[in-house]
């Protein structure tokens, strides 16, 4: 009888293992670089011919298309792992946990540590190991590793962490997105104005709870046929430049069309997997790539459900922070969560979407209940 009662009690339990973000942090460099810095530069086309329009005209058109008015660059002595550690310290403090209790550290980036004045990628050791070293975490059971997934790297890190946490293989995981893109841009290419530096971090924990919250569902895709090299490393556009020295390059128009076609569908897949109504979505935290493109993506997402895009649905930081790749989404979430964007608020029970697109070409999305 006793065994039967125990079996019945266990059978009637309704607790589920939720994966929730318990702490956030971000590092926004102090070095503000306004568009006026680029007005006196000479830009070149891919064929090395000079763009005939003066720098002031080029920057004015750039602002109209991307919405970017300024961006942030890390200080010369800082590396990607340095700023990742700063964001991580904030997230750990915000979560109120002992850093030694972390089971994993996942760092999403694309170029590793690139010292000022060079363009050499340094990922030996991994950035995650460097972050663990900077944080002075002694626990050998805290496993540190990097992931490369283009701009969607932080979102992918959360998806990866969720699988470990949901299964019970881990209890606490730190996921960081950090980049210093200012070190790998070609100053003779007008696309250099898009990119910036920054870091965002989150602590994810598993909790046994009665109601479902946290990560509810996700989607992810990779298109690697003709799309594979929409973002790539290539030589400077400056005439007679060293072709062996390569910088971040992009097929802007192709990326724009690709994103508008595929990102809304991925977002819809995540929301549908979570069995949620579109009207339940409070905010969409979308990778800050291009203001015009991001607006179009959200509009198309709501069109898939036959409804108009609500006001204040999408927080944005690109106007002042630029595109810091893997750092944009966690940084933006941290800013909103901590009241740094007064027009946007989050409360317990709100449904939000995290989504991103980038090199690979990769896309992912997460439906999340706060």
The pLDDT > 90 percentage for the chain reads 92
pLDDT band of residue 196 (cuts 50, 70, 90) is very high
Distance of alpha carbon 199 from its chain centroid, rounded? 9
Other beta carbons within 10 Å of 88: 33
Provide the percentage of residues in the chain whose pLDDT is more than 70: 96
Would you list the DSSP string of 213-272? -EEEEEEEEE--STTTTSEEEEE-SSTT--TTSEEEEE-HHHHHHHHHHHHHHHHHHHHH
Residue 351 near residue 282 (C-beta atoms within 8 A) = yes
* Strand 246-250 relative to strand 214-222, pairing: unpaired
CA-angle at 196, arms to 220 and 59, nearest 5°: 110
Which segment of 12-21, 25-34, 243-252 scores lowest on mean pLDDT?
Answer: 12-21
Residues 152-191 pLDDT 10s:
999 999 999 999 999 999 999 999 999 999 999 999 999 9
- Rounded to an integer, what distance in angstroms lies between the CA atom of residue 365 and that of residue 216? 11
201 near 25, Cβ under 8 Å? yes
Q: Which residues pair with 270 in a beta bridge?
A: none
Distance set, CA 131 to CA 109, 211, 242, 355 (Å): 13, 34, 33, 25
- Check if 16-209 and 214-369 are the same fold: yes
pLDDT at 121 over 70: yes
Q: What pLDDT score was predicted for residue 3?
A: 45
How many secondary structure helices (H) and strands (E) does the chain include? Answer: 9, 13
pLDDT digits (tens, 9 = 90+) for 96-110: 999 999 999 999 999
- Smallest CA-to-CA distance from 216 within 19, 22, 354 is with 19
Q: To which residue do tokens 């910036």 refer?
A: 196
Superfamily the domain 214-369 falls into: Thiolase/Chalcone synthase (3.40.47.10)
pLDDT of residue 58: 92
Least confident of 4-8, 22-26, 187-191, 196-200: 4-8
pLDDT digits (tens, 9 = 90+) for 315-365: 999 999 999 999 999 999 999 999 999 899 999 999 999 999 999 999 999
Q: Which residues pair with 108 in a beta bridge?
A: 147, 177
- For the chain, the domains span 16-209, 214-369
- Residue 8 pLDDT exceeds 50: no
Tens digit of each residue's pLDDT (9 = 90 or more) over 32-91: 999 999 999 899 999 999 998 888 899 999 999 999 999 999 999 999 999 999 999 999
Fold of the CATH domain 16-209: Peroxisomal Thiolase; Chain A, domain 1 (3.40.47)
Buried residues in 281-320 as b, exposed as e (16+ CB within 10 A)? bbbbbbbbbbbebbebbbebbbeeeeeeeeeebbbbbbeb
pLDDT at 259 over 80: yes
pTM over cut 0.75 = yes
Position of tokens 């006001």? 311
pLDDT of amino acid 14: 54
Helix (H, G, I), strand (E, B) or coil at 141: coil
Quick check: 312 pLDDT over 50? yes
């Amino acid at each position: 009888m006793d065994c039967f009662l125990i079996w019945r009690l266990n059978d009637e339990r309704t607790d589920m293992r939720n994966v929730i973000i318990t702490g956030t942090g971000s590092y926004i460099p102090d070095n503000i670089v306004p568009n006026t810095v680029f007005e006196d530069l000479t830009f070149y086309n891919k064929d090395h011919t000079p763009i005939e329009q003066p720098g002031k005209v080029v920057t004015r058109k750039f602002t109209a298309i991307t919405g970017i008015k300024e961006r942030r660059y890390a200080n010369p002595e800082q590396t990607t792992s340095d700023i990742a550690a700063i964001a991580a310290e904030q997230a750990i403090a915000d979560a109120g946990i002992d850093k030694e209790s972390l089971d994993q550290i996942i760092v999403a980036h694309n170029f590793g540590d690139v010292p000022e004045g060079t363009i050499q990628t340094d990922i030996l050791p991994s950035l995650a190991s460097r972050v663990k070293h900077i944080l002075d975490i002694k626990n050998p059971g805290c496993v540190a590793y990097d992931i490369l997934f283009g701009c969607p790297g932080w979102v992918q890190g959360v998806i990866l962490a969720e699988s470990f946490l949901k299964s019970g293989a881990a209890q606490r995981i730190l996921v960081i997105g950090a980049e210093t893109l200012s070190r790998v841009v070609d100053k003779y290419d007008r696309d250099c104005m898009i990119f910036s530096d920054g870091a965002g971090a989150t602590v994810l924990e598993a909790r046994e709870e009665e109601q479902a919250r946290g990560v509810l569902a996700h989607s992810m895709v990779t298109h690697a046929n003709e799309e594979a090299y929409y973002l790539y490393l290539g030589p400077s556009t400056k005439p007679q430049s060293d072709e062996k020295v390569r910088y971040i390059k992009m097929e802007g128009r192709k990326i724009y069309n690709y994103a508008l076609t595929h990102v809304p569908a991925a977002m819809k897949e995540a929301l549908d997997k979570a069995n949620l109504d579109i009207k339940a979505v409070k905010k969409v935290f979308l990778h800050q790539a291009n203001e015009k493109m991001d607006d179009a993506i959200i509009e198309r997402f709501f069109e898939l459900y036959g409804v108009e895009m609500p006001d204040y649905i999408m927080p944005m930081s690109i106007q002042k922070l630029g595109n810091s790749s893997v750092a944009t989404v966690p940084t933006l979430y941290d800013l909103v969560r901590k009241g740094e964007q007064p027009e946007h608020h989050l409360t317990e029970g709100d449904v939000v979407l995290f989504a991103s697109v980038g090199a690979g070409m990769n896309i992912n999305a997460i439906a999340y209940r706060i």
